[in-house]
């Protein structure tokens, strides 16, 4: 399962790869959480690739993953890795370098 989301036309700012293990509860939560974060904070500025490591184990091996789900931020800035279901939104936003706008 490789699910890719890309905005039309313009260059993306954020390149994110999420490695999951099938339809496990943690993987399902991670997909839902990162999609929600991307739509709320990065709409039109991100590329999200979701990789099921059961279907593509060579990609997980190449990345030397220590757990799943794992989110890898490729751009912008330094490569960052987050392991878990991404439910701690504040931690995810900080790792992505996103400062939420306060109301």
31 occurs within a structural domain: yes
How many domains is the chain partitioned into structurally?
1
43 occurs within a structural domain: yes
As given in the structure block, the two tokens for residue 73 are 């931020």
54: which DSSP letter?
T
80 occurs within a structural domain: yes
100 occurs within a structural domain: no
Q: Is the whole model's pTM more than 0.95, yes or no?
A: no
Per the structure, the complete domain to which residue 35 belongs is given by: 2-95
List strands edge to edge, sheet with 2-5. 2-5, 46-52, 14-20, 70-75, 80-83
pLDDT tens for 68-95 read 999 999 999 999 999 999 999 999 999 9
pLDDT tens for 5-38 read 444 445 779 999 999 999 999 999 999 999 999 9
83 occurs within a structural domain: yes
Residue 1 reports pLDDT greater than 70: no
14 occurs within a structural domain: yes
Predicted local distance difference test score (pLDDT) of residue 90: 94
* Domain CATH number, residue 46: 3.40.30.10
101 occurs within a structural domain: no
CA distance linking residue 31 with residue 101, whole number of Å: 23
């Amino acid at each position: 399962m490789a699910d890719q989301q890309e905005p039309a036309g313009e260059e993306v700012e954020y390149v994110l790869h999420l490695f999951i293990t099938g339809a496990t509860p943690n993987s399902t939560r991670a997909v839902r959480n990162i999609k929600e974060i991307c739509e709320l904070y990065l709409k039109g500025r991100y590329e999200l690739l979701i990789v099921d490591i059961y279907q593509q184990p060579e990609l997980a091996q190449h990345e030397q993953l220590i757990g799943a789900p794992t989110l890898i931020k490729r751009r912008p800035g330094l490569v960052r890795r987050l392991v878990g279901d991404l439910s701690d939104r504040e931690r995810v936003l900080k790792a992505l370098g996103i400062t939420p706008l306060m109301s």
